[in-house]
Structure 1
Amino acid sequence: MAKTAQERADIKAEKRYEKMHKRSFHLKPGDIIFNVLNYFVFGLFALACTFPFYYIFINTISDNDLVIKGVINFIPRGLHLSNYMALINVSDLSNAFIVSIGRTLIGTTLMVAASGFVGYLVTKQEMWGRRFWYRFLIITMYFNAGLIPWFLNMQMLGLTNTFLAYIIPGIVVPYNIILVKTYIESIPAELEESAAIDGASYMTIFRKIIWPLSKPILATIAIFGAVGHWNSFTDSLILMQSAPTLYTLQHRLYIYLNTASNLKALMESGGQISDAALKSAMSGKVIKYTISMVTVIPILCIYPFMQRYFEKGIMLGAVKG
């Protein structure tokens, strides 16, 4: 079908506008210099952030003798994957890996569910004592009794040497509740009102309207919770003294780091150690690198898929206080 004169005129006008638009955004020499410096500085910053991971990784796949000598700096040599395969046969590491996976999945799931539901409740003006309970939650962010009272409290509650010590204290997180509350308040109230007119209960509104629309902020706090559970080892160090089977992967790494450091200090001071201990100290460096990569890889694999939710959720959840 032939185009009318008006359509041809509109197309020409659009082309002229595009040309003018491109000319108006032509970069000046100063802008080009700024962009080059900007990319250069942030490129160096990105390199400084990623190089430690690269350094550890190439030391885990290089010849162990060369790693012990400290000659692997930029390029891997003698490639192999035996270090990672050897970890499968170490019983305490596989058990610690299972414990870390379990606490991360269960703890994060319960934390997200509690944050979503409590964040929704405190947005309801008709909730009994809403201001009191919300302020009661917030005030816990500013006061901390300290490590010893915390340990005594956990001990009196029977949360030592038990897996529940990893889960229960982290279910309610005030900061995450604030983010969820703020995000839910940005959702149009007409959606809830129309559902309430149709006879929907609070639970139905939360499950069918609020929860699906809150996926960005829920994904954001899920990242916070997962990283926190995965990297945590202080609770394992303090609360699981009589339950080595409940040590987390980070706690096991901490033990290996301390063992290698103590043996190294003993050798430097001229102390006598056995050949077995000497071999353990030398191989401990490789073990530390390998376990470090194993602890980092899961987060590095998950974060890129969650990044778009993280950026959107953290911005929308922080607009209002």
Structure 2
Amino acid sequence: MIHKKLTLFDGVMNVVSVVLIIVFLFPFYYMLVYSLSDSQMISRHLSFVPIGFTFQNYVDILNSPEIVKAFIVSAMRAVIGTVITLICCTSVAYFVTKKELPMRKTMYRLIVMTMYLSAGIIPWYITMMKYGLKNNFLLYILPSAVSAYFIILIKTYIESIPSSLEESASVDGAGILVILVRIIFPLCLPIIAAVTVFSAVNQWNSWWDNMMLVFKPNLKTLQYALYQYLQMASPRITSIQHAGELLNRVPPNANTIKITISMVTIIPIFVVYPFMQKYFINGIMLGAVKG
């Protein structure tokens, strides 16, 4: 009887899982179909396959110098920002595990407190202005260099490494930086990979700081470019000339451009995520087990 109940439960859960997968994936599938369809034909029909299959929508987007520049800025932000975040968070996480560090527990508690307390938008804005980060690429890098959540994950993993490895290296004359770079960092690659994915996705999707403090066109991120076009291509604005402020060439159907830009912004995440999914799970589990 118990076996039959479990079998029935597994069957129901499988069906529910399939339904949820379809519900979650359908919007992305429809966006892909829309972006690969002729802009005039698809606007008249709801289709599950591309109508008038074409890559012209993507060609129009990639022929826009502004979109290409924004893509490069976002890519640089994701890569450089992630590297800086890894270096800073790994260093801080390692040092707060050292018992000889004065007030290490107090420092760690203060770091954790930042996850629950926030000064707000105005103090953040004033602070960024005081540091001279307005219209500065470093605005995308420095504020996210240290993350309390990433520090907790890395610290937890470091504490699971046998201390005898560090002691052996110290006996052989290795300094604290040598131990960090040559022993701790290689052993922490699983959690480093998880943090890399978390940080890269956060950097790639960020646009709010761009809107608040960066007004130079050559520093515009792809996400903010999408936000601007969504604003200009709203139903209240029907002028193609107005929408053309963002793109050199705009197809007749503004919805096609909106959806195509959206696909350009999410395709990199779709490509990377399946290969890194297990690291997401490992990172979350590590933070849940021990903080």
Give the TM-score taking structure 2 as reference length: 0.92
1:292 maps to what in 2? 262
TM-superposed CA distance for 1:134, in Å, is 1.7
TM-superposed CA distance for 1:72, in Å, is 3.2
CA contact (8 A) 2:135 2:219 kept: yes
1:311 maps to what in 2? 281
CA contact (8 A) 1:66 1:72 kept: no
CA contact (8 A) 1:62 1:76 kept: yes
Q: Distance in 2 between matches of 1:274 and 1:169?
A: 38
1:248 maps to what in 2? 221
Q: 1:28 to 1:134 in 2, by over 3 A?
A: closer
1:205-230 deviation digits (Å, cap 9, x = unpaired): 11111101111111111111111110
Q: 1:203 aligns with which of 177, 180, 188?
A: 177
Higher-Rg structure is 1
CA contact (8 A) 1:217 1:314 kept: no
Q: Distance in 2 between matches of 1:283 and 1:295?
A: 19
Q: Distance in 2 between matches of 1:182 and 1:312?
A: 12
Tell me which amino acid in the other structure corresponds to 2:290.
K
TM-superposed CA distance for 1:86, in Å, is 1.7
Q: Distance in 2 between matches of 1:157 and 1:252?
A: 25
TM-superposed CA distance for 1:234, in Å, is 0.3
TM-superposed CA distance for 1:27, in Å, is 8.6
Q: Distance in 2 between matches of 1:310 and 1:66?
A: 40
Q: Distance in 2 between matches of 1:27 and 1:284?
A: 57
1:187-266 to structure 2, matched below 5 A, reads 187-241=161-215, 243-261=216-234, 264-265=235-236
Superposition CA RMSD, Å: 2.0
TM-superposed CA distance for 1:316, in Å, is 2.8
Segment drifting more, 301-310 vs 184-193:
301-310
Q: Distance in 2 between matches of 1:274 and 1:164?
A: 36
TM-superposed CA distance for 1:55, in Å, is 0.5
CA contact (8 A) 1:59 1:289 kept: yes
CA contact (8 A) 1:122 1:130 kept: yes
Q: Secondary structure of the equivalent of 2:173?
A: coil
CA contact (8 A) 2:251 2:257 kept: no
Unaligned runs of 5+ in 2: 245-249
TM-superposed CA distance for 1:54, in Å, is 0.2
Tell me which amino acid in the other structure corresponds to 1:265.
R
TM-superposed CA distance for 1:275, in Å, is 6.9
Higher relative contact order (Cα pairs below 8 Å, separated by 6+ residues): 2
2:13 maps to what in 1? 38
1:150-171 deviation digits (Å, cap 9, x = unpaired): 1111111110111010001010
1:28-49 deviation digits (Å, cap 9, x = unpaired): 3323221211110011111111
Q: Which runs of 4+ in 1 moved over 4 A?
A: 273-282
Q: Distance in 2 between matches of 1:126 and 1:276?
A: 65
TM-superposed CA distance for 1:89, in Å, is 1.2
Tell me which amino acid in the other structure corresponds to 2:170.
A
Q: Distance in 2 between matches of 1:30 and 1:290?
A: 47
1:302 maps to what in 2? 272
Give the TM-score taking structure 1 as reference length: 0.84
- The aligned length equals 286
Q: Distance in 1 between matches of 2:134 and 2:240?
A: 38
Q: Distance in 1 between matches of 2:240 and 2:152?
A: 56
Q: 1:275 to 1:103 in 2, by over 3 A?
A: closer
Segment drifting more, 55-64 vs 141-150:
141-150
Q: Distance in 2 between matches of 1:95 and 1:298?
A: 16
1:2-151 to structure 2, matched below 5 A, reads 28-69=3-44, 71-151=45-125
Q: 1:56 to 1:274 in 2, by over 3 A?
A: closer
1:111-158 deviation digits (Å, cap 9, x = unpaired): 011111110100000012212322222222222111122111111111
1:224-281 deviation digits (Å, cap 9, x = unpaired): 111111001100001113x1221100000001101111xx225xxxxxx667569969
Tell me which amino acid in the other structure corresponds to 2:289.
V
CA contact (8 A) 1:161 1:239 kept: yes
Q: Distance in 1 between matches of 2:254 and 2:243?
A: 10
CA contact (8 A) 1:68 1:282 kept: no
Aligned-residue identity in percent: 44
